[in-house]
């Protein structure tokens, strides 16, 4: 996949440093302020109630603006982009942005790491809490591949070189969601048998 002129990294002599003079290598990019989870620690009800107004669309950076800024940061030594939000998957056409970021020159393939993470929480009457997670490590593919799946699947490349959209039904066994749900099923089975801590 060839880079567009907007994704070409300009030549910059001085790398970006933090206040301790260490080079900055990671950049978190918030692609939306919207979220559908309402986690207490980041979106408490007393602040983010029914009347809360999120940013209007015209105040959110376009994918082209994000890619251009990312290219500038890459020219300053940044080698990893982390997409955050709110909940980044609420941003329409997000795989398009992932493709644009993958096309930025100057970010080596080995630094195009990616992680899918799913977390499942259970709170029982009486307050007992259980949290289980599933994680898959991979990297951002240089171009989308595969016909199955959704969201990031066509650009999320597994260690064996296939994308999540190319593995078909095998996805049910390896996905981060499946891992988290299997772990929570063990908790539910233990609790149902009268077990203490699961």
Note the pLDDT tens digit of each residue in 175-185: 998 999 999 99
10 vs 32, more confident: 32
Of 198, 178, 48, whose CA–CA distance to 123 is shortest? 198
What is the C-alpha separation between 161 and 183, in angstroms, rounded?
26
């988290």: which residue's tokens? 180
pLDDT reported for residue 3: 41
Mean pLDDT for the stretch of residues 95-124: 81
Kindly state the DSSP code that residue 23 receives in the 8-state scheme. Answer: B
119 three-class SS: strand
- Edge to edge, the sheet with strand 129-140 lists 113-123, 129-140, 156-157
Whether the predicted pLDDT of 66 surpasses 90 = yes
pLDDT value at 118 more than 70:
yes
d(CA 150, CA 154): 7
Average pLDDT over residues 71-100: 83
Task: From residue 138, give the alpha-carbon distance in Å to each of 12, 16, 19, 105, 149.
Answer: 30, 27, 31, 20, 16
The mean pLDDT value for 109-116 works out to 74
Percent of the chain with pLDDT over 70: 86
* Residue-level pLDDT at 183: 95
Residues 6+ apart with CB under 8 A from 188: 122, 198
The predicted pLDDT at position 15 comes to: 77
Q: What is the DSSP string of 125-182?
A: TTS-EEEEEEEEEEEE-SS---SS--TTGGGEE-TTS-BTTTSGGGHHHH-HHHHHHH
Q: What value does the mean pLDDT take over residues 54-70?
A: 90
CA–CA distances in Å: residue 146 to residues 32, 40, 58, 83, 109: 27, 37, 33, 22, 20
């Amino acid at each position: 996949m060839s880079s567009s002129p907007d994704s070409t990294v300009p030549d910059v002599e001085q790398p970006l440093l933090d206040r301790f003079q260490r080079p900055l290598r990671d950049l978190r990019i918030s692609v939306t302020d919207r979220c559908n989870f309402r986690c207490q620690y980041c979106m408490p009800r007393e602040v983010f109630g029914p009347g809360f107004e999120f940013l209007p669309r015209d105040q959110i950076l376009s994918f082209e603006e994000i890619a251009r800024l990312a290219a500038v940061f890459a020219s300053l030594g940044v080698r990893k982009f982390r997409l955050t939000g709110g909940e980044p998957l609420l941003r329409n056409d997000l795989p398009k942005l992932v493709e644009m970021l993958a096309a930025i020159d100057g970010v080596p393939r080995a630094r195009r790491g990616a992680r899918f993470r799913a977390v499942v929480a259970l709170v029982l009457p009486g307050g007992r809490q259980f949290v289980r997670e599933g994680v898959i490590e991979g990297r951002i593919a240089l171009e989308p591949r595969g016909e199955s799946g959704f969201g990031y699947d066509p650009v999320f490349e597994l260690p064996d070189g296939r994308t999540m959209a190319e593995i078909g039904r095998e996805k049910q066994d390896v996905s981060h969601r499946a891992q988290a749900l299997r772990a929570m099923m063990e908790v539910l089975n233990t609790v149902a048998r009268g077990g203490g801590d699961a």
